[in-house]
Amino acid sequence: MNLAIIDMGTNTFHLLLVAVNGTSFDVVHKEKVAVKIGENGINEGLINEEAIERCLKTLTAFKEKIVAANISEVFAIGTSALRNALNGQQVIDRIKKEVGLNPRIISGIEEATYIHYGVSKALQIGPEISLIMDIGGGSIEFIIANAHEPLWMESFEIGGQRMLEKFHKTDPIEPAEIKELKIFLERNLTSLFEACEKFKPTTLIGSSGTFDTLSEIQQLKTSQPVGEKVTELPMTLSAFKEIFSELIIKNKEERMAIPGMIALRVDMIVVASVLIEFILSKLNLTNIRISSYSLKEGVLIKTIEEHIHQNTSPTYINI
């Protein structure tokens, strides 16, 4: 069984082509493209025409690779930008008509559920209570979990692209903008703080995106790169604080010069790192870990396991 997973994120589109053998899988092809469908419109609830064209162009290229790999079963999902845009269904209709794919828009809770599933397969959460955080362009998912189950989860529509357009208007970011962003987070994450007061997590587990880039920067700083198949990436609290102190004083050109930085993250990484620092400090978390698995891997593994256990065909989009 060969599968294709397409994650149509607000900032980044991911394509994952895998060959499945029982409960395991081998990655045949993996790529990410900065489509930025939420750019210049996400806070107004619209996906603009330029973003739609980038979306269609990228999905057409993805489909060509899927067909070339002889994969006929595709699971495509849309997240925050598509589920909140007033013209989200119109975009889906154009994708169906012009590309021949039929993405399913998932809810924030579905997104959090898949993220938890991916993270729990990537690393052993252990006996301590952990807070999983996935920073997307449109939404942020928080999951409080132990080794056995998720205890609480919520999706907040205040992702990196939204924060970038609201608060990062000068470069380098001004201290006043950081202060304004933290006030915004304090006001909008009250249910998270209440849940953390109840369950008392001690460790932050970051999932994909910004966290991947932070770890890559740290690996190059220490000259200790990890292999592509490693599913838990290195990071420490002290290393994060050091990188964070650099990011908030550098402009875009200077950030791009940091070894490990990529153009895909160079803009959003500042507000995302402010968020991470805020959460670590606010909740007095004493450890940080990074999972290289996130939403798309959660979708993949959940689909494979359901197919095996139920002995039924998964719901795919045939092309």
Model confidence pLDDT, tens digit, residues 172-183:
999 999 999 999
What pLDDT, on a 0 to 100 scale, did the predictor assign at position 317? 42
Q: What is the CATH number of domain 109-295?
A: 3.30.420.150
Helices (H) and strands (E) in the chain, counts: 12, 12
Q: What is the CATH number of domain 2-107+296-318?
A: 3.30.420.40
The answer to whether the beta carbons of residues 240 and 276 sit under 8 Å apart is yes
37, two tokens: 């469908």
Q: Where are the beta strands (DSSP E) in 161-246?
A: 203-207, 232-233
Cα separations (Å) of 163 from 59, 269, 312? Answer: 26, 11, 42
What pLDDT, on a 0 to 100 scale, did the predictor assign at position 24? 83
For the residues 204-209, what does the mean pLDDT come to?
94
What pLDDT, on a 0 to 100 scale, did the predictor assign at position 2? 86
- Mean pLDDT value across the chain: 93
Backbone angles phi, psi at 14, to 5 degrees: -115, 140
What pLDDT, on a 0 to 100 scale, did the predictor assign at position 311? 53
| Same fold across 2-107+296-318 and 109-295 | yes
Model confidence pLDDT, tens digit, residues 262-272:
999 999 999 99
Q: Cα(263)–Cα(255) distance, rounded to whole angstroms?
A: 9
Q: What is the DSSP letter of 170?
A: S
Nearest to 295 by CA among 144, 108, 162, 158: 108
The answer to whether the beta carbons of residues 145 and 151 sit under 8 Å apart is yes
What does the domain layout of the chain look like in residue ranges?
A: 2-107+296-318, 109-295
pLDDT band at 36 (very low <50, low <70, confident <90, very high): very high
Backbone angles phi, psi at 108, to 5 degrees: -60, -40
Rounded to 10 degrees, the C-alpha dihedral 228/220/292/35 comes to -100
What pLDDT, on a 0 to 100 scale, did the predictor assign at position 127? 87
For the residues 56-81, what does the mean pLDDT come to?
94
For the residues 108-129, what does the mean pLDDT come to?
95
Q: What percent of the chain is modeled with pLDDT above 90?
A: 83
pLDDT band at 316 (very low <50, low <70, confident <90, very high): very low
Mean pLDDT lowest among 13-17, 19-23, 217-221: 19-23
Q: Report pTM.
A: 0.93
